[in-house]
Amino acid sequence: MHKLDLHPWFVERARGLRAGRFNAYETIEGAKTALIIVDMQNYFVDEALPTSTPMAREIVPNINRLAGGVRAAGGLVVWIQTEAPADPDDWPNRMEASSPEVWAFRQKSLAVDGEGFPIYRTCDVHPEDSIAIKYRYSAFIPYPSPLEALLKKQGIDTLLITGTSTSTCCESTARDACMWGYRTIMVSDGNADQQDWMHNHTLGKFLGMFGDVQATDEVIEKLETATGLAASAAAE
């Protein structure tokens, strides 16, 4: 698990924006919350594949706990899967920036029938969860995306971003979520990257400029608190 170690500059910037508060969002309402689980697929997680992020395997228990907490609170759990379409003209600039061998492996492994496409075996996917396919780093591209349609249908206003990697697909998705007006929280111990410094720099930048950073336990506590308050209000 990555050790959270945010540069003081990011922390002070966040506090300066929030009259001394560290967190941007102090409440999380379950029914309006979606847990977004980015790219926890074999291609990015399985130790048998050279493209995997080792730390991604360590965050699976936290992601499963968050998914359980969000379901219990009446929220939405969305598993994001990257697909490499068969179209040879798809994403030409990215293909040009890759070697033929690297690109061929990506296209084969992330095809729907490829070994890298399935969600990693220890991820606890439930029948009521949703799946959204993406073709770029951000799950919001192209817009409107399958993810955006799911969120609008459920009346979601808060997103919890988890998955791999922190500084690439998770950050791209989280930044776009912020730009579209969602209360966006990157879960510090629910994201994984290749290096600690990459993980921490991304979270620090996000905290100070785009949204919030909270840990699994903090998120679950807020969900349970909101659910308890709602139950008490309904009983009165």
Classify 20 in phi/psi space as left (phi over 0), alpha (psi -120 to 50) or beta.
left
Query: What's the CA gap between 63 and 74, in Å, rounded?
Result: 17
Task: Judge whether 1 lies within some domain.
Answer: no
Task: Judge whether 95 lies within some domain.
Answer: yes
Expressed as residue numbers, the domain containing 152 is 9-235
Report the percent of the chain where pLDDT is more than 70. 97
**Number of domains making up the chain:** 1
Task: Judge whether 50 lies within some domain.
Answer: yes
Tokens at residue 40, please?
């926890």
Residue 157 has pLDDT above 70, yes or no: yes
- What pLDDT is recorded for position 142? 86
- What pLDDT is recorded for position 143? 82
Report the percent of the chain where pLDDT is more than 90. 92
Looking up residue 112, the CATH number of its domain turns out to be: 3.40.50.850
Residue 229 has pLDDT above 70, yes or no: no
3-state secondary structure the chain: CCCCCCCHHHHHHHHHHCCCCCCCCCCCCHHHEEEEEECCEHHHHCCCCCCCCHHHHHCHHHHHHHHHHHHHCCCEEEEEEECCCCCCCCCHHHHHCCCHHHHHHHHHHCCCCCCCCCECCCCCCCCCCEEEEECCCCCCCCCCCHHHHHHHHHCCCEEEEEEECHHHHHHHHHHHHHHCCCEEEEEEEEEECCCHHHHHHHHHHHHHHCCEEECHHHHHHHHHHHHHHHHHHHHC
Question: pLDDT for 24-69, tens place per residue?
Answer: 999 999 999 999 999 999 999 999 999 999 999 999 999 999 999 9
Its pTM stands at 0.96
Mean pLDDT of the chain: 95
Task: Judge whether 4 lies within some domain.
Answer: no
Task: Judge whether 77 lies within some domain.
Answer: yes
User: Please, what's the b/e burial string for 182-194 (b: 16 or more CB within 10 A of its CB; e: otherwise)?
Assistant: bbbbbbbbbbbbb
Task: Judge whether 213 lies within some domain.
Answer: yes
Task: Judge whether 56 lies within some domain.
Answer: yes
Three-point CA angle 104, 105, 109, nearest 5°: 120
Q: 52, 60, 72: which is closest to 163 by C-alpha?
A: 60
Task: Judge whether 2 lies within some domain.
Answer: no
Contact yes or no for 37/78 (Cβ under 8 A): yes
Tokens at residue 214, please?
């909270």
